[in-house]
Chains A and B, each alone.
Chain A
Amino acid sequence: MTTTKKNNLPTILVIAGLLIFVIILENIRSVFPFLPQIFDPMSPLFTVLKKAAVYSLVAVSMNLLNGFTGLFSLGQAGFMLLGAYTYAILTVPAELKDQVYYLFGGCAFQFSFVDFFKGIFGATGVPGAISMVLGCLIALILAGCVAGFFAFLIGFPVLRLKSDYLAIATLGFAEILRAIFQWQRLGPITNGANMIKGFPTFSSFNITDGSGRVVLQLSTFVPFLITTVCVVIIVLLINSSYGRAFKSIRDDEIASEAMGIKLFSHKMLSFVISSFFAGVGGGLFAMYVANAQAKAFTSTMTYEILLIVVIGGIGSVSGSIIATFLYVACSEWWLRFLDSEQYIGGFKVPLLRNGFRMVVFSVVIMIIVLFFSKGIMGSREIDLNSLFVKKDKKKGQK
């Protein structure tokens, strides 16, 4: 019973299929130009997909901490900020640094990973592409490491706090970070309150021919791929004995301690890992909006993500992901029409004007929270393996 090796092939196939589907989806209009506007890479569909891919990573990382370890932390935007800035500072090409930091007479930090690898492999063609991918990848990993390191530092004082107090402390930490990063004195590093830009974004990953025409769109695939890898790592962690210990701490701290689980070090582990992935998510967010600016990472962003986690189901990874896509699609796309005046025939639809979208959106969220009080998924998960296994077989296994 206990050592039953699960056959994970179906899950792997589904995930791979999904990723291939994303590539096909974003390139289909260049093969079949007669397809509707929605398949254009610039359409809201792909904006939503990119943003949702980024947000789902952050939502899952928040769920790891809030849903699986029971630590109610609201510092997610702060760790995203750390990640976004780390990524941005480490990848802005040296030749652009003077231009980006012109208010501060150039950047104090001239190093760029992309330049570094271009120096090794070459700057153009395939070697150039490899350099950029490697540079971005390492910068993203470091973005996570910086966020994780700060989590480790503030973990010592704040993880001794419980529930609401922990939330307030982490929220305060995020706000302090936001203020520090806008401090003019740090301008040569953070560019003060101005944005850092010029670093590789998702569209930098599109494959172009010599004349700059896009041959293969990959700008939606890249965030999907990175998020998938990160979420798979988080899921493996949750299903490991560490994940079990996290869940036991959430359920009953005293009983976990009586079973010999070190509360503090496990909480710290969960906090650091969650912040690591929030940092990576922050780096991805910077790529998505093509700039890094501290004022974007407000507590509103944390609440947005918390809302997603709650709607999806606290303690459900698949719930978080589904909720992210629904939430982002609603807020960025499906409800957009409510913000502009609409006419049906000659009749002007009442109420529709700028801002009405948020009213409807809030009502939708209230309905969800009222009627699905445990979120869409509760604490259940979608088992991709069982999609292909017949019901009776599954029963026998359990």
Chain B
Amino acid sequence: MSEDVLKINDLKVRYGGIEAVRGISFFVKKGEIVTLIGANGAGKSSTLRAISGLIKPAGGKVELEGEDITAKDSTTIVSKGLMMVPEGRRIFPNLSVLENLKIGAYLRNDDLEEDLNMVYGYFPRLKERSWQAGGTLSGGEQQMLAVGRALMGRPKLLMMDEPSLGLAPIVVQDIFEIIKRIHENGTTVLLIEQNANMALHVADRAYVIENGKISLEGTGKELLADEKVQAAYLGARG
């Protein structure tokens, strides 16, 4: 279990003259949950978008299972098994739940029955609502749909961008429960979160991003105990 699924080396992202990500390096081993935490504008989402091919990185290298996928288009990257749950869920509001899920498996030609059952197993609520339009679901259900949609692509690595965004605390707990279950069933997860407390509790390892650079790294437990992290992200009085 020590094989690197994802290896990022000195990744840089620029928007015009602004350098949002200034040389980030990290790795995700097979079977891990790794989390990147950080405040608004720290460069977490930019990192994720650059990995998934939605924006072109200004420099650095992205390797998926040893293969260089830097600056490849998103179709290639998805077909290699890197699925993303985008920030703000971004489900397709006018498509039914079932259609949303099928879009997740768009690049696959094989039978979807097994994967649909797996997703419905995680989220029985989606099965009940499979004919309903995605936009009519509640926020939490939409998040489940976004996760389910990404799972339909049989990801080698599932990347989640702020799954807790805009959800009630109790729903956030549900979502994290499910992330844990998905992980226990063998999916490697890269989680990006502002909710450092929840993220660090489920994560095997974690990186703290500040101003486009990694300022701290360690196991989830180490970072939870770290004073600086407590002061900056966990709301403890330092």
**Residues of A that sit less than 8 Å from B by CB:** 1-3, 241, 244-245, 247-248, 250-252, 254-262, 315, 379, 398
The reply to whether A256 and B103 contact each other, CB–CB distance below 8 Å, is yes
> Which of chain B's residues have a CB closer than 8 A to the CB of A247?
92, 94-95, 99
- With A247-B95, A260-B106 known to touch, is A254 a contact of B86 (CB < 8 Å)? yes
Q: Are B54 and A261 in contact (CB under 8 A)?
A: no
Residue of A nearest to B84 (CB): A258
Residue in A2, A252, A260, A398 whose CB lies within 8 Å of B112: A2
Q: Which residues of A contact B107 (CB under 8 A)?
A: 260
- Residues of A close to B93: CB separation below 8 A: 251-252
Closest Cβ neighbor of A261 among chain B residues = B106
- Top 6 A-B pairs, shortest CB-CB distance: A260-B78, A255-B90, A251-B92, A260-B107, A260-B75, A248-B103
Whether A315 pairs with B116 at a CB distance below 8 angstroms is no
B230 adjacent to chain A (CB < 8 Å): no
> Cα distance A398–B75 when bound, in Å?
32
A2 touches B78 (CB 8 A): no
When distances are taken between beta carbons in the complex, the residues of chain A under 8 Å from B103 are: 244-245, 248, 256, 259, 261
User: Which residues of B have CB within 8 Å of A257?
Assistant: 54, 74
For the complex, what is the distance from the CA of A262 to the CA of B107, rounded to whole Å?
10
Closest to B100 in A: A248
Closest Cβ of chain B to A389, distance in Å, is 16
| Bound complex: CA A262 to CA B94 (Å) | 20
Tell yes or no: B25 within 8 A of A by CB.
no
A2 contacts which of B73, B77, B95, B98 (Cβ < 8 Å)? Answer: B98
A156 CB to nearest B CB, Å: 17
Q: Contact residue range for chain B?
A: 20 to 34
Interface residues of B in 106-124 (CB under 8 A from A): 106-107, 112-113, 116
Q: A244-B95, A248-B95, A251-B92 are in contact. Are A258 and B102 (CB under 8 A)?
A: no
B74 touches A255 (CB 8 A): no
12 residue pairs A–B, Cβ–Cβ below 8 Å: A2-B98, A244-B102, A244-B106, A251-B92, A251-B93, A252-B92, A252-B93, A255-B91, A256-B103, A260-B106, A262-B73, A262-B75
Q: How far is the CA of A262 from the CA of B75 in the complex (A)?
A: 6
Q: Which residues of A contact B131 (CB under 8 A)?
A: 398
| Interface pair A258/B74, CB less than 8 Å apart | yes
Q: Is B94 a contact partner of A251 (Cβ separation < 8 A)?
A: yes
CB closest residue in chain A, given B76: A260
Contacts of B54 in A (CB 8 A): 254, 257-258
Complex CA gap A271/B75 in Å reads: 20
Do the beta carbons of B75 and A258 come within 8 Å of each other? no
Give the number of A-B contacts (CB < 8 Å).
75
User: Which residue of A2, A3, A260, A379 is within 8 Å of B74 (Cβ)?
Assistant: A260
B140 within 8 A of A: no
Q: A255-B86, A257-B74, A259-B103 are in contact. List 8 more A-B contacts (CB 8 A).
A: A244-B99, A245-B103, A248-B95, A254-B86, A258-B78, A261-B103, A262-B73, A262-B75
Contacts of A250 in B (CB 8 A): 94
CB distance from B171 to the nearest CB of A (A): 21
Q: Which of B73, B74, B92, B130 contacts A248 (CB 8 A)?
A: B92
B52 at the binding interface (Cβ < 8 Å): yes
> B182-223: which have CB < 8 Å to A?
none
Tell me which residues across on chain A come within 8 A of B104, comparing CB atoms: 259
**Does A1 contact B130, Cβ atoms closer than 8 Å?**
yes
- Residues in A neighbouring B79, C-beta threshold 8 A: 260
Query: Is B149 in the interface zone, CB < 8 Å from A?
Result: yes
Contact B116–A259 (Cβ < 8 Å): no
A1 closest partner in B (C-beta): B130
Name the distance in Å between B25's Cβ and chain A's nearest Cβ: 24
> A241 vs B105: C-alpha distance in the bound complex, in angstroms?
10
Could you tell me if A1 and B116 are in contact, using CB atoms closer than 8 angstroms? yes
Residue contact B98 to A258, C-beta cutoff 8 Å: no
Instruction: Tell me which residues across on chain A come within 8 A of B95, comparing CB atoms.
Output: 244, 247-248, 251
Provide the bound-state CA to CA distance between A311 and B90, in Å: 29
Shortest distance in angstroms between A265's beta carbon and chain B's nearest beta carbon?
9
Chain B hits for A258, CB < 8 A: 52, 54, 74, 78, 84, 86, 90
CB distance from A315 to the nearest CB of B (A): 7
Q: How far is the CB of A63 from chain B (nearest CB, A)?
A: 14
List chain A residues, Cβ under 8 A from B75. 260-262
Closest to B79 in A: A260
Q: Which residues of A contact B116 (CB under 8 A)?
A: 1-2
Determine whether the beta carbon of B91 is less than 8 Å from that of A259: no
Chain B 25-39, CB within 8 Å of chain A: the 1/0 string?
Answer: 000000000000000
Give every chain B residue within 8 A of A1 (Cβ-Cβ): 98, 116, 130
Closest to A70 in B: B94
A162-B113 Cα distance, complex, nearest whole Å: 36
Within 8 A of A (CB), among B14-28: none
CA distance A2 to B96 in the complex (A): 13
Rounded to whole angstroms, the CA-CA distance of A205 and B97 in the bound complex is 47
- List A contacts of B148 (CB < 8 A): none
- B166 to A: closest C-beta gap in Å: 16
In this complex, what residue of B is CB-closest to A3?
B113
Assembled-state Cα–Cα distance A234/B44 (Å): 42
Instruction: Note all chain A residues with C-beta closer than 8 A to B57.
Output: none
Does the CB pair A259–B113 fall under 8 Å?
no
CB contacts under 8 Å to A, within B57-83, are 73-75, 77-79
B153 within 8 A of A: yes
- Known A254-B90, A379-B94; judge A2-B52 contact (CB<8 A): no
CA–CA, A379 and B136, complex, Å: 15
Measured CA separation A171–B78 after assembly (Å): 36
**Minimum C-beta distance from A393 to chain B (A):** 15
